[in-house]
Amino acid sequence: MKPKKCRNCRKEFTPTHSSLEAFCSFPCAKEGRKPDLKLKAVYKIPKVSKKRQVEQLQYQVLRTEFLGKPENKICFIEGCNRESNTIEHRAGRWGKNYLDTTTWAGCCSEHNIELENNPELAKKYQLSKIHGGKKE
């Protein structure tokens, strides 16, 4: 076979197996390879958006003020006289309703969970997410 020049070290060599050989030796071929591509840093989707982080700070202040008012100290469910320690978002927590105190109600934790799990009770006490009035 015809002598060729090595792609890496540019020395002349005679190919041993085929005319497609491009390197004079295995170590030279290993040096001549392109460096392994480094993996890009994996982008992790944040658990909370920057906008929501700002809203959460505002929410904490508003929540403390809301639950401190005398009319919100007792659970809003009829017949319940327990102290309210959570806020029931009667029209949902999405969009502007998250910080809209007109759609909030002071609630004890037991009824808050019950409103989440019992659709009949939720229909009676929660507001419509579409028009903000009573659910029908």
pTM (whole model) above 0.85: no
User: With the CA atoms of 99, 103, 108 and 114 taken in that order, what torsion angle do they form, in degrees rounded to the nearest 10?
Assistant: -110
pLDDT of 53 strictly over 50: yes
Query: What's the pLDDT at 127?
Result: 64
Alpha carbon distances (Å) from 107 to 22, 101, 125, 133, 134: 77, 14, 11, 19, 18
Query: What's the pLDDT at 55?
Result: 94
pLDDT of 114 strictly over 80: yes
Tell me the pLDDT band of 130, cut-offs 50, 70 and 90.
very low
Q: Where are the domains of the chain?
A: 50-125
Query: What's the pLDDT at 39?
Result: 66
